[in-house]
Amino acid sequence: MANYTGQLSEILLEAYQNASARLVCPAEAQPAPGQYIQATHPHDESQAVPVTLFAAAPANPLPGGRVSLAVLGALRPDWQPGAELALRGPLGRGFTLPKRAQRVALLGLQGSPGRLLPLAAQALAQGSQVALASQAMAVGHLPPAIEVHELNDLPRLLAWADYVALDLDRADLESLEARLGGRPPRAVTAQALVRAPMPCGGLASCGVCSLPAGRGTRLACEQGPVFELSELFAPA
């Protein structure tokens, strides 16, 4: 984790773009799939907490060791293209795609599937088949090799996949097992990115991002935001 300066180069407004903005930043600031960075505007005195941003596509390299990166997050409404941002990161634990994975199912249970798309690119690069199911059906600009499904295909996708990655809100954890129709087989590697407010970004262990996991709790900002799916189910 380190501090960098980035520039907001473009605001992305269309849902099919699966991202909020395009950010120019040092290559070292690029978060791995499932990791995040935090952004603040140095001259915005009204900004009380940083904005959490996830990569929403593989970065495009630029001269001088910088990249152009599509990011997804709740941008402040007064941020405009050209604004310089203070960045901290990459932060948190991201997805770990097994090299042996041949059938990858990406499940966006709420909102844009953008946080899963860098993982899709990684899976395609290693020769895996990729299927994406998302609540948000505005899934334009996807590589043609990605099969797009509706969420009612979940049981079939879970039976097909040997690696499953989910993106969901913390509020959906209680109903997750029922929504999936049960727990995935033990032979399937399954991970979940759990979205929760992470104001401190791991600096203070403030507890705002805490979530139930097994018989205890976890902090999304430090121990996540990606967790093994088995950690998130109540003990049997």
Return the CATH number at 79. Answer: 2.40.30
What is the average per-residue pLDDT within 220-232?
94
Let me know whether 11 and 85 are in one domain.
yes
Kindly report the backbone phi and psi dihedral angles of residue 171, in degrees, each rounded to the nearest multiple of 5, phi listed first: -65, -20
CA distance linking residue 195 with residue 124, whole number of Å? 25
- Tell me which amino acid residue 112 is: S
Residue 188 lies in a domain: yes
**Residue 140's pLDDT is what?**
65
- In a 3-state reduction of DSSP, which class is residue 155? helix
Let me know whether 83 and 195 are in one domain.
no
Residue 87 lies in a domain: yes
Let me know whether 113 and 158 are in one domain.
yes
**Residue 86's pLDDT is what?**
96
CA distance linking residue 139 with residue 141, whole number of Å? 7
Q: Report the chain's terminal Cα–Cα distance, integer Å.
A: 37
Please, what's the b/e burial string for 93-129 (b: 16 or more CB within 10 A of its CB; e: otherwise)? Answer: bbbebeeebebbbbbbbebbbbbbbbbbebbeeeebb
**Residue 180's pLDDT is what?**
86
Let me know whether 138 and 84 are in one domain.
no
pLDDT digits (tens, 9 = 90+) for 144-158: 999 999 888 888 999
Query: Given a cut of 90, is residue 177 above it in pLDDT?
Result: no
Let me know whether 11 and 119 are in one domain.
no
Residue 30 lies in a domain: yes
**Residue 16's pLDDT is what?**
72
Cis peptide before 90 (omega within 30 of 0): yes
Kindly report the backbone phi and psi dihedral angles of residue 211, in degrees, each rounded to the nearest multiple of 5, phi listed first: -145, 155
Residue 49 lies in a domain: yes
Contact 51, 173 (CB under 8 A): no
Residue 98 lies in a domain: no
pLDDT digits (tens, 9 = 90+) for 32-67: 999 999 999 988 777 889 999 999 999 999 999 999
Query: pTM for this structure?
Result: 0.94
Strands 36-40 and 60-62, bridge-based pairing: unpaired
Contact 114, 72 (CB under 8 A): yes
Number of H helices, E strands in the chain: 5, 15
Tokens of 218: 């976890």
Contact 172, 166 (CB under 8 A): no
DSSP 8-state code for residue 185: P
Per-residue pLDDT band at 236 (split at 50, 70, 90): low
- In a 3-state reduction of DSSP, which class is residue 221? helix
Residue 129 lies in a domain: yes
pLDDT digits (tens, 9 = 90+) for 188-222: 899 999 999 999 998 988 999 999 887 789 999 99
- Out of 91, 118, 138, pick the residue that ends a domain: 91
- In a 3-state reduction of DSSP, which class is residue 153? helix
Domain that holds residue 44: 2-91
Let me know whether 37 and 119 are in one domain.
no
Cα angle vertex 59, ends 54, 63, to 5°? 135
Let me know whether 117 and 219 are in one domain.
yes
Residue 177 belongs to domain with CATH number:
3.40.50
Let me know whether 131 and 61 are in one domain.
no
Residue 96 lies in a domain: no
Residue 97 lies in a domain: no
Domain count, the chain: 2
Let me know whether 162 and 220 are in one domain.
yes
Let me know whether 135 and 198 are in one domain.
yes
- Tell me which amino acid residue 193 is: L
pLDDT digits (tens, 9 = 90+) for 94-142: 999 999 999 999 999 988 899 999 999 999 999 999 999 988 766 667 8
